Amino acid sequence: MLNRVILIGRLTRDPELRYTPAGVAVTQFTLAVDRPFSSNQGQREADFIPVVTWRQLAETCANYLRKGRLAAVEGRIQVRNYDNNEGRKVYVTEVIADNVRFLESANSANREEGMSSGAMNQGGGNSGGGNRGGGYGGGRDNQDPFQDDGKPIDISDDDLPF
Amino acid sequence: MLNRVILIGRLTRDPELRYTPAGVAVTQFTLAVDRPFSSNQGQREADFIPVVTWRQLAETCANYLRKGRLAAVEGRIQVRNYDNNEGRKVYVTEVIADNVRFLESANSANREEGMSSGAMNQGGGNSGGGNRGGGYGGGRDNQDPFQDDGKPIDISDDDLPF
Amino acid sequence: MLNRVILIGRLTRDPELRYTPAGVAVTQFTLAVDRPFSSNQGQREADFIPVVTWRQLAETCANYLRKGRLAAVEGRIQVRNYDNNEGRKVYVTEVIADNVRFLESANSANREEGMSSGAMNQGGGNSGGGNRGGGYGGGRDNQDPFQDDGKPIDISDDDLPF
Amino acid sequence: MLNRVILIGRLTRDPELRYTPAGVAVTQFTLAVDRPFSSNQGQREADFIPVVTWRQLAETCANYLRKGRLAAVEGRIQVRNYDNNEGRKVYVTEVIADNVRFLESANSANREEGMSSGAMNQGGGNSGGGNRGGGYGGGRDNQDPFQDDGKPIDISDDDLPF
DNA sequence: TTTT
DNA sequence: TTTT
Strands A44-54 and A89-102: parallel
Residue of chain A with shortest Cα separation from C110: A108
Note down the domain range covering B38.
5-131
pLDDT at position B88 is: 83
Comparing D108 with B52, the larger pLDDT belongs to B52
Q: Are D89 and A143 in contact (CB under 8 A)?
A: yes
Instruction: Report, as an integer, the average pLDDT of C138-148.
Output: 33
How many C-alpha atoms does A41 have within 13 Å on its Cβ side?
3
Domain-embedded: residue D104: yes
pLDDT at position C143 is: 32
Domain-embedded: residue D140: no
Kindly report, residue by residue over B29-73, the tens digit of the pLDDT.
999 999 999 988 889 999 999 999 999 999 999 999 999 999 999
Helices (H), chain D: 55-64
Q: Which residue is nearest to nucleotide F1 (CA to C1')?
A: D136
> In chain A, how many H helices and how many E strands?
1, 6
SS3 content of chain A, % helix, strand, coil (to 5): 10, 40, 50
Kindly report, residue by residue over C73-100, the tens digit of the pLDDT.
999 999 999 998 888 889 999 999 999 9
- From the CA of D67 to the C1' of F3: give the distance in Å: 8
Q: Which of D94, D115, D17 is nearest to D61 (CA)?
A: D17
Q: Are A33 and B3 in contact (CB under 8 A)?
A: yes
Kindly report, residue by residue over D28-70, the tens digit of the pLDDT.
999 999 999 998 888 999 999 999 999 999 999 999 999 999 9
Comparing D68 with D107, the larger pLDDT belongs to D68
DSSP D19-56: E-TT--EEEEEEEEEEEEEE-TTS-EEEEEEEEEEEHH
Residues in chain A, pLDDT under 70: 108-162
pLDDT at position C88 is: 84
List the nucleotides on chain E closer than 7 A to a protein CB: 1-4
| CATH value at residue D17 | 2.40.50.140
Domain-embedded: residue C154: no
pLDDT exceeding 70 applies to what percent of chain B? 65
CB contact under 8 A, D70 and C1: yes
Global confidence as pTM: 0.75
Residue of chain D with shortest Cα separation from B103: D103
pLDDT at position D41 is: 87
Q: Is the per-residue pLDDT at D117 higher than 70?
A: no
Burial of residue B12, with CB atoms counted within 10 A of its CB: 0-12 exposed, 13-18 middle, 19 or more buried? middle
pLDDT at position A35 is: 96
CB contact under 8 A, B4 and A6: yes
Q: Which of B25, B148, B9 is nearest to B67 (CA)?
A: B9
Domain-embedded: residue C145: no
CB contact under 8 A, B93 and A93: yes
pLDDT at position A88 is: 84
For chain D, what is the domain count?
1
pLDDT at position D160 is: 52
Q: What is the mean pLDDT of chain D?
A: 75
Kindly report, residue by residue over C36-61, the tens digit of the pLDDT.
999 999 999 999 999 999 999 999 99
Domain-embedded: residue B19: yes
pLDDT exceeding 90 applies to what percent of chain A? 57
Domain-embedded: residue C52: yes
Beta-bridge mates of residue C67: none
Which residues of chain B have a CB within 8 Å of the CB of C145? 91
Domain-embedded: residue B116: yes
Residues in chain B, pLDDT under 70: 107-162
Kindly report, residue by residue over C20-35, the tens digit of the pLDDT.
999 999 999 999 999 9
pLDDT at position B155 is: 52
Closest nucleotide over all strands to C91 (CA to C1'): F1
Which candidate from B1, B4, B99 shows the least CB-CB separation from C126?
Answer: B1
Domain-embedded: residue A78: yes
Residue D103, SS3 per DSSP = coil
- Burial code (b: 16+ CB inside 10 Å, e: under 16) for A49-64 equals bbbbbbeebbebbbbb
Which candidate from A8, A37, A39 shows the least CB-CB separation from B162?
Answer: A37
Which residues of chain B have a CB within 8 Å of the CB of A5? 4-5, 77
Residues A12, D127: Cα–Cα separation, whole Å: 52
